[in-house]
Amino acid sequence: MRVSIFGLGYVGAVTAGCLTKEGHTVVGVDVQAEKVESLASGVSPIVEPGLGDLLADAAKNGLLSATQNHEEAIAATGVSLVCVGTPSAESGELNLQYVRQVVGQIADAVRASGESHDLVLRSTMLPGSTQKIADELLADLLGSGKLRLFFYPEFLREGTAVADFDDPSLAVVGTHDGSAFPGELSPLFGGDAPSVSWPGAEMVKYACNAFHATKVTFANEIGRIGKSMGVDSQSVMRLLCQDTRLNLSPYYLRPGNPFGGSCLPKDVRALAHEGRRGGVELPLIDSLLPSNEAHLAKLIEQTKRLAKGRVTLLGLSFKSDTDDLRESPMVEVAQHLLGRGFELSIYDPQLNLAKLIGTNKRVIDEKMPHLASLLTDDLATALGRVGLVIAAQKCVDIETLRPLLTAEHTLLDVNGWPELRDLPAQYEGFCW
């Protein structure tokens, strides 16, 4: 495959070296003559282990060239990768000046050539950016089929970038509508990368980087408060990372219910309080409960917007397969609905009021003393009158729900239960 790479910084140079290693012919393009001269001679413009040898071999074997002339590059290749920077403006706003400039040059060159071309954006951009660029700069080419546009975010770590390129821990390709990308481009995309929409692929990159920043900040905050309490936080975090069932797993990384229960809220409160008491600043930990409360407020707002009279709540406890009502977000939702005068039924087969004891019983006695009158084990009757159904838990199987729901029901999915989309009701996801 003949590929042009626009932007010969960190991502562009690594991509050039790794693609030539796979036998592809690469034309590097940059506005800086020094970078062009360096790459053309097989010398890496950046410091990155292993990259210098790759570029030297590529130049020696005639697989690598470089130019400042975008028209020349487009004429010599069938695919272009845009790897230019997207720096921050003083306000923090993302600066897409260089991406737009390069894309405009590529578009003009493709129009002049009359040949079809594939354009792959690798520069980090906020969701919606690719669509806007497509609409404003590429509409005619995309409409005529002369150009195909993809967003392919990079997940390279400086210092291990060559190894990361060869064996990516994550790969995703954004297409216009999330459909599969053309098979002939699979060598560029790692072969088995999943396809999502342009905004989806853009968001994955930001989600990953924000998560990495969160992890570093979290570990540092544990370090600060640990030191203030005489604890070796390095050993604490090493042990934390050994748990791949919960700590390093997808278990908690699913949008849906706010957190609740007997552990997370109280333990975050305690840690935040200890930080304040000891004069240790913990901005991330301090923000956890307010963020969770904002998430709950959003859920309550959405629930009240969708409710039209009758509401059936599937699951009241803080998570499935438990009867623990302590700090359950659904208890708060139920209270708000009752306060607004909605008719409410609750289906939760794990709940047996006679067996509630201690704090769990006290929660209900204080917040929902009339819970017994709201609970039902007759789901058919509860759903027999149309209204809003809030699926907070997987406490009933899909095939039981299917004949009980109609197109007149509204179904709010709070749990991230994809099979609910196939039911006859009007489906709405909480935050998806």
Q: How much is the pLDDT for 190?
A: 75
Q: Total structural domains in the chain?
A: 2
Q: How much is the pLDDT for 89?
A: 81
Q: How much is the pLDDT for 93?
A: 87
> How many CB atoms neighbour CB 82 within 10 A?
25
Q: How much is the pLDDT for 99?
A: 97
Chosen domain end from 202, 225, 256: 202
- Which tokens sit at 412? 């709010």
Q: What is the pLDDT along the chain (432 residues), one digit of tens a residue?
A: 999 999 999 999 999 999 999 999 999 999 999 999 999 999 999 999 999 999 999 999 999 999 999 999 999 999 999 999 998 888 888 899 999 999 999 999 999 999 999 999 999 999 999 999 999 999 999 999 999 999 999 999 888 999 999 999 899 999 999 999 999 999 998 768 999 999 999 999 999 999 998 999 999 999 999 999 999 999 999 999 999 999 999 888 889 999 998 888 998 998 999 999 999 999 999 999 999 999 999 999 999 999 988 999 999 999 888 888 889 999 999 999 999 999 999 999 998 888 888 888 888 899 899 999 999 999 999 999 889 999 999 999 999 999 999 999 999 999 999 999 999 999 999 988
Please give the model's pTM, rounded to 2 decimal places. 0.84
Are 181 and 315 part of one and the same domain? no
Q: Which residues span the domain enclosing 15?
A: 2-202
Q: How much is the pLDDT for 253?
A: 87
Q: Which helix (H) or strand (E) holds 140?
A: helix 139-144
Q: How much is the pLDDT for 191?
A: 64
Are 151 and 20 part of one and the same domain? yes
Chosen domain end from 145, 175, 202: 202
Q: Would residue 170 count as lying in a domain?
A: yes
Q: Would residue 215 count as lying in a domain?
A: no
* Catalytic residue ranges: 263
Q: How much is the pLDDT for 17?
A: 97
Q: Would residue 281 count as lying in a domain?
A: no
Q: How much is the pLDDT for 360?
A: 82
Q: Would residue 261 count as lying in a domain?
A: no
Burial string for 113-151 (b: 16+ CB within 10 Å, else e) reads: eeeebbbbbbbbbbbebbbebbeebbeebbeeebbbbbb
Strands, E, within 328-379: which ranges? 343-347
Q: Would residue 232 count as lying in a domain?
A: no
- Which tokens sit at 140? 């005619």
What is the spatial distance between Cα 340 and Cα 309, in angstroms, rounded to a whole number? 10
Are 51 and 166 part of one and the same domain? yes
Q: Would residue 381 count as lying in a domain?
A: yes
